[in-house]
Structure 1
Amino acid sequence: MTPASATPGLRRRLTSGQLAMIAIGGAIGTGLFLGSGLAIGLAGPAVLVSYAIGGVIALLLMGCLAEMTVAHPTSGSFGDLAELYLGSWAGFVVRYAYWSALVLAVGTELTAVAIYMQFWLPAAQGWIWMLVFGAALMLVNAASVGLFGRTEYVFSAIKIAAILGFLLLGSLVVARAPAGSPIGLVNYVSHGGFFPHGLSGLWSAVIVSIFSYLGIEMIAVAAGEAVDPERAIVRAFRATMLRLAIFYLGTLALMLAIVPWDDAGTASSPFVAVMLAIGIPGGAGLLNAVVLIAAVSAMNSQLYTATRMLFSLARARQAPRRLGQVSAAGVPLMALLVSALGIAPATLLYVYQPQRAFGMMIGISAFGAMFAWMMIFLTHLAFRARADARERPFRMWGYPWTSVAGTMAMAAILLTTPFTGPFASTLLYGVPFLLLLSLSYAWVRRPGPAEPSAE
């Protein structure tokens, strides 16, 4: 079986290393460098447990995606697979829900860019930086997938080097802190205990952690442009999860040991706060440059993935045909332009609500991605029930229980968002949007001339 929307026109130029970097580029961005401050404020030191829970869910998702993507390496990825194994309605709503999440996430990253730029130029208008950086990344994505892959590789390499440096420096600071100093493991329990906000705070931070991990699924979308998809996908999935586990939990553990959790926030990156606390000359400015690059990198990956998802919709005859056309360089330019629409609401929100803009953008952008994650687990259940049982290069362990656990976890996260401050608007936006998608699907599928066959 093959998904309906194959991807003619796109070019296979991405290596396994670039695939892994694309996923890291999406998953290590504002969610870690700025969103972690929000999560720490919700859970305190227990945020380590929250991110561990989120990491387990992400690991299960990656396993399910790896198995399915090796069998079906298309640019439509889990949207195509949902259509194939769950039905046309599922394929339609998953693609559009995830696309909308990415479009809004681009705006979230731009909001972070405006916050980071205030470190150097506090008097400058943030919306100007949002437009400048947004336009620059559109040009990178419009050039060619090869340029995108190389750019994202460099961006992600800078982030990885910075995080490794942070881990080394933070470890030395904690290890050499004299007895009785405000730095050390005592910070885990000295400001209200390990669970200062109880289990509710821990669970709220789990939701933030899921938002932070969003982006790992981008490997599956990029598989349609991988040089050797079968080998590259499995290698990239394994490398990504190992790196994310070390980077997220390691940096959070050191951050909490150096700076008291109640000093975290979203006015600036908590990583920058750590460098200020350590007191290295120029260190805070250097790290602020790194977190700025991280936001640009994540936005780069999100814009790429949103473009390919919309391209997939057009090729499946569920979006205007022009969005399925590619340039001479093999780039879906019209899909790129439409996928950049998230820049507008984020800029307007920042202009009128600069203090609340970041949290509000997280809340509304999270629904589509969380819904897509839940549907990926459901799709994997159907895939294993119907797919060819012959030996595949990668098989998800623990089936069906791991897929069932992932589905239930994502359903619980979505249903509890109304009871968490930062995500109170998630379902308020998501449920009407899902209803609108269902009505749109009914309109697209209305009786009429016979549908053309898939390309």
Structure 2
Amino acid sequence: MDAPAAPITDDPSGLHRRLTSRQLTMIGLGGAIGTGLFLGSSLAISQAGPATILAYVICAGVALVIGWSLAEMVVVHPEAGAFGAIAHRYLGPWAGFVVRWTYWTIQVIAIGGEVIAAGIYVQFWWPSLPLWLPVVVFSVVVLGVNAIAVKLFGEVEYWFAMIKVVAIVVFILLGVLLITVGLPGAEATGTANLTAHGGFLPNGVSGLFLAMVFVLFSYIGTEAVSVTAAESENPVRDIPRAARRMVTRLALFYVAAIAIVLTVVPWTLTAQGGEVTESPFVSVFSAAGIPAAATVMNFVVLTAALSSANTNLYLTTRMLHSLASNRYAPAWTGRLSASGVPRNALALSALGLALAAGVSAASESEAYLALFGVSVFGALVVWLIILLTHHAFRRTRAAQGLPPSPVRLWGAPVTSGVVMLFLAAVLVSTLFIESLRPAWWAGVPFFVILSVAYVVASRRTGSG
């Protein structure tokens, strides 16, 4: 049951509570729905074939536990820094330092990749255009949107994410028609592709688990809603509502879309991946007689990339602002503009964006593999720390005789414990997957360096 409305007051850190419930839901979806879904999710499908559908269902359950545990905590502590600040409170300064700097780093890396991707999508229309030009233009656009006011950011992200959602809904509806009754000029496909080419589970249970390793990363971004708590108009009411809507819609979109992809197109073809023109979305739109289907799809993946970059830039600035409040980042990154935006933190994140974008452009370099590894390792560690924080949150409040949160994760600590074991297993399994092995050789040194930085920072500030 939703909590009663409370008067709107700005966060004590100075951030303005201007984000509405509808914006929060779309921010969560915008952060989680990337370009991978539209281009086929080929890595996961190559491992599990049609059983990739099950992988998306299972990982949706993982995302639901993460999202609901965050909602339980942030309605009690709707403060800047979200899970990072709460980890600081319940697990100690080291955890708060590490999880926030890690999250800042992986999101900066993600922004660099997204603006590069957006530039490549523009080259679909203008192949001779130098890549740096759209990358610079899009970087300036997302910086401008984030710099003006949080209300503008929320509205722009709402419509960016809406384009993705509409594209997925249309795809699902057309896909159902194509499977069951056919479309003008295209006969019904039926469901034969789900069992052909080696059966529903062509590579066995091991293939299903490997697919889940890749699918899990599709749901990373669901924690974005919690970061908005300090700028939500009514966090006690809106954060749980947005978390519930965002995770359930995300799961529905992912599972339904992937089920249609695997039903309409043989999984052996989808597993090969390809460009926008080879996307299963384009195949279905073309069968439906939609003119210039590839152009429409390219526009969708372009907005998907810009949406992710826009949201991730927002997240990095709020994490830096929170770190500054604990004196774990330069004090100037905590200063706010008159409109309540941490523009100095935004500027520092933009420097990281430029570095990540430049390195991402050199996709064959060792530096890019290192960034990729830090991102994979860091994302899994952040989720593990969130669940550890949730366990400490419940234990500490019970020990102090404090009332429970108005939002409760069902089945905890069993559900959260099972998800922690699953995430740990995924983290270990990256050692045995060649494309994910950089997670360890880059991720472990990164955390060692981060821990050393914490020791230095805590001695300097006297807050260790």
Offset of 1:273 from its aligned partner?
Answer: 4.7
1:366 maps to 2:379: no
User: What is the aligned counterpart of 2:144 among 131, 139, 144?
Assistant: 139
Look up the match of 1:235. Answer: 241
What SS is found at the alignment partner of 1:445? Answer: helix
Look up the match of 1:49. Answer: 54
Look up the match of 1:260. Answer: 266
Look up the match of 1:320. Answer: 330
- 8 Å contact 1:93–1:437 — kept in the other structure? yes
- 8 Å contact 1:11–1:225 — kept in the other structure? yes
From the superposition, tell whether residues 254 and 342 of structure 1 become closer, same or farther in structure 2 (CA, over 3 Å): farther
**1:404 & 1:40 partners in 2: Cα distance?**
28
**1:37 & 1:227 partners in 2: Cα distance?**
40
Look up the match of 1:335. Answer: 345
Look up the match of 1:292. Answer: 302
What SS is found at the alignment partner of 2:15? Answer: coil
Look up the match of 2:224. Answer: 218
User: What is the aligned counterpart of 1:39 among 39, 44, 53?
Assistant: 44
Offset of 1:123 from its aligned partner?
Answer: 3.6
Amino acid at match of 1:210: L
1:302 maps to 2:315: no
What SS is found at the alignment partner of 1:328? Answer: coil
Offset of 1:182 from its aligned partner?
Answer: 8.7
**1:157 & 1:433 partners in 2: Cα distance?**
36
What SS is found at the alignment partner of 2:437? Answer: coil
Q: Which runs of no fewer than 5 residues in structure 2 stay unpaired?
A: 1-10
1:439 maps to 2:452: yes
1:206 maps to 2:209: no
After TM superposition, the structure 1 stretch with the greater mean CA deviation from structure 2, 415-424 or 9-18, is: 415-424
From the superposition, tell whether residues 170 and 288 of structure 1 become closer, same or farther in structure 2 (CA, over 3 Å): same
- 8 Å contact 1:105–1:362 — kept in the other structure? no
Matches within 5 A, 1:8-47: 8-34=13-39, 36-47=41-52
What SS is found at the alignment partner of 1:396? Answer: coil
Look up the match of 1:197. Answer: 203
1:394 maps to 2:407: yes
What SS is found at the alignment partner of 1:30? Answer: coil
Look up the match of 2:292. Answer: 282
Look up the match of 2:5. Answer: none
Offset of 1:450 from its aligned partner?
Answer: 4.9
Amino acid at match of 1:124: L
**2:445 & 2:369 partners in 1: Cα distance?**
20
- 8 Å contact 1:116–1:288 — kept in the other structure? yes
After TM superposition, the structure 1 stretch with the greater mean CA deviation from structure 2, 371-380 or 103-112, is: 103-112
From the superposition, tell whether residues 203 and 91 of structure 1 become closer, same or farther in structure 2 (CA, over 3 Å): same
TM-score, normalisation: structure 2: 0.89
From the superposition, tell whether residues 381 and 185 of structure 1 become closer, same or farther in structure 2 (CA, over 3 Å): same
- 8 Å contact 2:371–2:442 — kept in the other structure? no
Q: Which runs of no fewer than 5 residues in structure 1 stay unpaired?
A: 1-5
TM-score, normalisation: structure 1: 0.91
- 8 Å contact 2:178–2:187 — kept in the other structure? no
Per-residue deviation, residues 273-332 of structure 1 (Å, max 9, x unmatched): 543566632122112211211111111111101110111001111010011011122111
**2:138 & 2:182 partners in 1: Cα distance?**
40
1:155 maps to 2:165: no
After TM superposition, the structure 1 stretch with the greater mean CA deviation from structure 2, 258-267 or 81-90, is: 258-267
Amino acid at match of 2:165: I
Offset of 1:96 from its aligned partner?
Answer: 0.8
From the superposition, tell whether residues 297 and 350 of structure 1 become closer, same or farther in structure 2 (CA, over 3 Å): same
User: What is the aligned counterpart of 1:248 among 251, 254, 257?
Assistant: 254
- 8 Å contact 2:149–2:339 — kept in the other structure? yes
Look up the match of 2:7. Answer: none
1:125 maps to 2:130: yes
- 8 Å contact 1:51–1:209 — kept in the other structure? yes
Offset of 1:400 from its aligned partner?
Answer: 1.1
